[in-house]
């Protein structure tokens, strides 16, 4: 008979955070402790549902005795550690990172970045005007090791036209900061579809499907979990993209309603974002024990039936309703059977599955 393995509980440690003694639990990261203490550390590539990859480097802090500035999202606390979250060295590093990002990437839809640029006195414009934008598909054809020398008068840019090759979501890689969160969510962290990966090297690196094929020809299953973790708006609902283009997207006018997905019995929680009496996008709570922010294609995008408010026969091109359809009996007079034969859903009245 085997005995259950007993694991010792994590021990408490004490660190010095910005000159103050703070208690922490062994295994916690500096970022977690700072959040608990009410200290803001900027983050872009970190997400509570993903493993830290230390890509964006805006969360770096100064640790006494460390040669480099470690990322707070990944560096775990140690007993006796002395941490400065906003030292001059840290502020200078964050300023440079923000300047590099904002001078080469469209951060107009990235939350908090404009505030951080002001807070850290970053000046992205000092690198000069942006270089000419890439044409559609041009960056996809770049080859590793074949670089064009910059002219020294323009700031390098990843600007390019958005990829609109399906009706569900848009890939606007002019806003991509290569945080890798979409690759993680599509890969081993959650979906295990591996439809996207990083292609290229250096400044030519970009997120791509296999052989840069259009999304409908790729392995993508349209779960939209990449959209859920994208921090910049590089991946965006088509409904949101269209409204932003038309100038009608207004989050201040939106209401969020939490409900349960009707498509199966898993019980995924949905957050329905509604504007002007229409669902404009769907998210899922990151702290929900079932979904952890993830959904399938039905839960993420299958909301259009809610907005089909016309009665049968009222839409252009619809066939007229059968006799007695109004009273639910149908032509046979037997009505919708209990096994779902008279309707779309499992009991005859739900959405199609």
Q: What band does 322 get if pLDDT is binned at 50, 70 and 90? A: low
Q: Give the tens place of pLDDT for each residue, 297-307.
A: 999 999 988 88
Q: With a threshold of 0.85, does the pTM exceed it?
A: no
Strand order in the sheet with 269-275: 255-260, 269-275, 278-283
Contact predicate 90/63, CB 8 Å = no
Q: Give the tens place of pLDDT for each residue, 163-201.
A: 999 999 999 999 999 999 999 999 999 999 999 999 999
CA dihedral (77, 81, 82, 87) in degrees, to 10, reads: -40
Q: What is the pLDDT of residue 217?
A: 97
Complete domains list, the chain, with CATH: 12-97 (3.10.20.740), 135-140+158-307 (3.30.70.20)
Q: What is the pLDDT of residue 1?
A: 52
Among 165, 95, 161, which Cα is nearest to 132's?
A: 161
Alpha carbons within 13 angstroms on the beta-carbon side of residue 78 total 8
Q: Give the tens place of pLDDT for each residue, 192-237.
A: 999 999 999 999 999 999 999 999 999 999 999 999 999 999 999 9
Ranges of H-type helices in the chain: 30-36, 88-104, 113-119, 181-186, 225-229, 238-246, 297-301
What is each CA distance from 104 to 84, 118, 132, 145, 172, in whole angstroms?
A: 29, 17, 11, 20, 14
Is the alpha carbon torsion for 208, 211, 214, 220 positive or negative? negative
Q: What band does 340 get if pLDDT is binned at 50, 70 and 90? A: very low
Contact predicate 314/320, CB 8 Å = no
DSSP 218: S
């Amino acid at each position: 008979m085997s005995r259950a393995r007993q694991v010792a509980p994590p021990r408490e440690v004490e660190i010095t955070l910005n000159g103050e003694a703070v208690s922490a639990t062994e295994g916690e990261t500096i970022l977690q402790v700072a959040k608990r203490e009410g200290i803001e550390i900027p983050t872009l590539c970190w997400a509570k549902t993903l493993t830290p990859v230390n890509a964006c480097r805006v969360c770096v802090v100064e640790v006494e005795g460390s040669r480099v500035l470690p990322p707070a999202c990944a560096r775990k606390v140690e007993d006796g550690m002395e941490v400065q979250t906003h030292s001059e060295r840290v502020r200078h590093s964050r300023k440079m990172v923000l300047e590099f990002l904002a001078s080469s990437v469209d951060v107009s839809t990235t939350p908090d970045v404009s505030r951080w640029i002001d807070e850290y006195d970053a000046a992205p414009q000092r690198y000069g005007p942006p270089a000419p934008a890439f044409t559609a598909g041009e960056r996809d054809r770049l080859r590793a090791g074949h670089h064009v020398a910059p002219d020294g008068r323009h700031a390098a840019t990843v600007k390019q036209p958005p990829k609109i090759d399906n009706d569900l979501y848009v890939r606007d890689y002019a806003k991509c900061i290569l945080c890798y969160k979409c690759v993680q969510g599509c890969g081993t962290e959650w979906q295990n579809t591996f439809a996207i990966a990083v292609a290229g090297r250096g400044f030519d690196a970009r997120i791509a499907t296999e052989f840069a094929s259009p999304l409908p020809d790729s392995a993508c299953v349209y779960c939209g979990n990449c959209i859920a973790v994208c921090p910049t708006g590089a991946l965006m609902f088509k409904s949101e993209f269209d409204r932003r283009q038309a100038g009608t997207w207004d989050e201040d006018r939106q209401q969020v309603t939490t409900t349960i997905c009707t498509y199966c019995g898993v019980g995924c929680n949905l957050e329905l974002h509604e504007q002007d009496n229409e669902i404009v996008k769907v998210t899922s709570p990151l702290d929900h024990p079932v979904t952890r922010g993830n959904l399938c294609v039905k839960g993420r995008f299958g909301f259009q039936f809610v907005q089909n408010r016309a009665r049968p026969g009222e839409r252009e091109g619809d066939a007229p309703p059968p006799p007695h359809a109004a009273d639910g009996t149908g032509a046979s007079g037997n009505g919708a059977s209990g096994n779902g034969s008279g309707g779309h859903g499992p009991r005859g009245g739900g959405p199609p599955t």
